[in-house]
């Protein structure tokens, strides 16, 4: 990934600055680590590998300015993390299949883990960016979703461990900012996709691509008319960088404002893969949002940010990486 810089064409982070990325072995986290190294940062990636994978970091492990630490964000940060100047807190399972398998850990990550990172930020004088989520809007009553919306979330449903956990995390960041003067940033990420998605992680893009490449039926939940807005991972990472280095706390929506139904997404994946798989319907899960599209006026005004990679281009890149990964796994020289 090429250096990002700012609207002025240069990065305000000094070369060699120490940056901590929690959830660094995850899908977005690994791309962020790659970006930060390209900017000249010293990067510490922390992950307990409950949903992250070290193979996401394989190209970085030998880099002289990169260090991976296997640790739980809910525990006291390892000594190596003391004195960091920036903290990107991405630690948390991100797909419904993942966080519903471990709801207690998900809540703790968004409460105790965020508290640990805020305490570290206080001790180190660091700026902390929290990766929040569009799920704080729940099954939104307003459309598109704006940062001023309070959301419509079921606090007792099967998704509450994630939705309410992230809402708690946002509240805790702003409480620290008000009471202690901690410098914080809040990014609300909408559906992000791209290379390094895990085929079995339960997210719709990875599900559809895996099913299409294996000739399986593509599973549509409900009537397939519910919508999401899909942002390519490079665009998301660029937004995180720009928000961290901006003068704005947020929250700021980071997502692609182009809305796409699940049926349309499935048809695009079939066209790109050339698969002859069928579309089959299953019951809609409880509390599944009907529509999801970000208002990105804040991101555009405050950060000069808009997504640059269209859905067809992003899907084509993702499909190509899925195919290459599958080919490596089948190769006699590849891992078994």
Q: List the domains of the chain with CATH numbers.
A: 18-193+231-257+288-308 (3.40.50.720)
pLDDT surpassing 60 at residue 10? no
Dihedral class, residue 167 (left if φ above 0, else alpha if ψ from -120 to 50, else beta): alpha
pLDDT tens by residue, 54-87: 999 999 999 999 999 999 999 999 999 999 999 9
**Contact at 8 Å (CB) between 173 and 128?**
yes
How far is the CA of 289 from the CAs of 116, 118, 285, in angstroms? 31, 31, 9
Phi/psi of residue 136, nearest 5 degrees:
-65, -20
Region at 214 (left for phi over 0; alpha for psi -120 to 50; beta for the rest): alpha
Q: pTM here?
A: 0.92
Active site residue 137: no
Which of the residues 162, 176, 193, 232 is marked catalytic? 162
Could you tell me whether strands 279-282 and 231-232 are parallel, antiparallel, or unpaired per DSSP bridges? Answer: unpaired
Per the prediction, the chain carries an average pLDDT of 91
The percent of residues in the chain predicted with pLDDT above 90, rounded, is: 84
Q: How confident is the model at residue 227 (pLDDT cuts 50, 70, 90)?
A: very high
| pLDDT above 50 (res 11) | no
d(C-alpha 29, C-alpha 137), whole Å = 23
Burial class (CB in 10 A: 0-12, 13-18, 19+), 316: middle
pLDDT at residue 272 tops 50: yes
The DSSP symbol for 57 reads G
The span from the CA of 334 to the CA of 46, in Å, is 27
Angle between helices 311-330 and 262-273 (to 10 degrees): 50
Reported as a pLDDT band with limits 50, 70 and 90, residue 149 is: very high
- Burial readout 71-110 (b: 16 or more C-beta within 10 A, e: otherwise): bbbbeebeeebeebbbbbbbbbbbbbebbbeebebbbbbb
Q: What's the length of the chain?
A: 336
Res 3 pLDDT > 50: no
> Could you give the percent of the chain with pLDDT greater than 70?
93
What CA–CA distance (Å, rounded) separates 55 from 32?
A: 15
Q: How far is CA 191 from the centre of its chain?
A: 8
* Residue of 71, 84, 70, 91 whose CA lies nearest to 36: 84
Check residue 328 and give its pLDDT.
53
Checking if the pLDDT of 199 tops 80, the result is yes
Beta-bridge mates of residue 221: 282
């Amino acid at each position: 990934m090429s250096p990002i810089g700012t609207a002025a064409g240069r990065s305000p982070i000094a070369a060699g600055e120490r940056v901590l990325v929690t959830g660094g072995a995850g899908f977005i986290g690994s791309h962020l680590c790659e970006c930060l190294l390209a900017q000249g940062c010293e990067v510490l990636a922390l992950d307990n590998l409950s949903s992250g994978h070290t193979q996401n970091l394989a190209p970085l492990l030998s880099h002289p300015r990169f260090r991976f630490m296997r640790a739980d964000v809910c525990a006291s940060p390892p000594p190596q993390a003391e004195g960091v100047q920036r903290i990107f807190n991405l630690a948390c399972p991100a797909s419904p299949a993942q966080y519903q398998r471990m709801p207690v850990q998900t809540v703790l990550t968004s409460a105790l883990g965020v508290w640990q990172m805020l305490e570290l930020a206080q001790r180190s004088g660091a700026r902390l960016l929290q990766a929040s989520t569009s799920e704080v809007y729940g099954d939104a009553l307003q459309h598109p979703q704006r940062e001023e919306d309070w959301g419509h979330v079921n606090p007792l449903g099967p998704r509450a461990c994630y939705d309410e956990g992230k809402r708690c995390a946002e509240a805790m960041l702003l409480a620290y900012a008000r009471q202690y003067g901690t410098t914080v940033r809040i990014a609300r990420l909408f559906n992000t996709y791209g290379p390094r998605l895990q085929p079995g992680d339960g997210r719709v893009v990875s599900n559809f691509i895996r099913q299409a490449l294996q000739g399986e039926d593509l599973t549509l939940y409900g009537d397939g008319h519910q919508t999401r807005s899909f942002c390519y991972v490079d665009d998301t990472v660029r937004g995180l960088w720009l928000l961290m280095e901006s003068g704005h706390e947020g929250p700021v929506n980071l997502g692609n404002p182009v809305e796409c139904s699940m049926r349309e997404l499935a048809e695009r994946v079939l066209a790109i893969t050339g698969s002859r798989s069928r579309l089959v319907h299953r019951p809609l899960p409880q509390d599944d949002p009907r529509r999801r599209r970000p208002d990105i006026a804040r991101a555009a005004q405050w950060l000069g940010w808009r997504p640059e990679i269209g859905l067809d281009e992003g899907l084509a890149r993702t499909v190509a990486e899925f195919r290459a990964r599958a080919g490596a796994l089948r190769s006699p020289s590849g891992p078994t």
